[in-house]
Amino acid sequence: MSEEWQFQIRATLTDRAAELICEGGAAPELEPLVSVAERHNAQIRNQYEAFAEFVAEAEAAGETQSPLYKWTKVTIEDPVKVAKHKKIVTFYVNGDEVYAKDAAEALEADLKPLVGGPLVAKINKYDSNPANNPQPPAHLMS
């Protein structure tokens, strides 16, 4: 029996759209993106902010020894990676970071027409299978 993986949709935004999302996401220019998210009961979450929140929560809980914490901390302290991750948003459907494949595919289909326009540079669909996702570098595993 094969395992049922969950999925996540991320979008790399244009410079202007990323700037507007970082400013709170209320700009009228973002309406096409926000409209798609609303149709899918999805929240748009800036990836950098999610990483920074994860680090802050881990530090508050005293859970700073995990490889994931160390990797995320290094990422949010690297200006090049900060710039990259401020341009990426994750769609949380019904408040969930990962969701069923059909929900991900429907969201992806509605986002595709925005790719190449003034808001979205590209979209990616990820699954929750660890074999398909990057793992912390070996030097952070101890």
In tens, the pLDDT along 31-40 reads: 999 999 999 9
DSSP letter at 87 equals: T
How high does pLDDT run on average in the chain? 93
Percentage of residues of the chain with pLDDT beyond 70:
97
Strand order in the sheet with 120-127: 42-46, 88-93, 7-13, 120-127
**Alpha helices for 24-65 (secondary structure H):** 31-39, 47-61
Mean pLDDT of the 121-133 span: 93
Global pTM reads 0.90
- pLDDT (average), residues 23-47: 94
77 Rama sector, left if φ>0, alpha if ψ -120 to 50, beta otherwise? alpha
Mean pLDDT computed over 51-61: 96
Secondary structure of residue 89 in the 3-state scheme: strand
Residue 67 has pLDDT above 70, yes or no: yes
Please tell me the predicted confidence (pLDDT) of residue 129. 92
Q: Is the pLDDT of residue 142 over 80?
A: no
Given this model, what pLDDT does residue 140 score? 79
Across the range 54-68, mean pLDDT stands at: 95
Q: What is the mean pLDDT of residues 106-127?
A: 97
User: Where do we find the tokens 């991750």?
Assistant: 85
16 Cβ contact partners less than 8 Å away, ≥ 6 residues apart: 29, 118
Cα(80)–Cα(27) distance, rounded to whole angstroms? 26
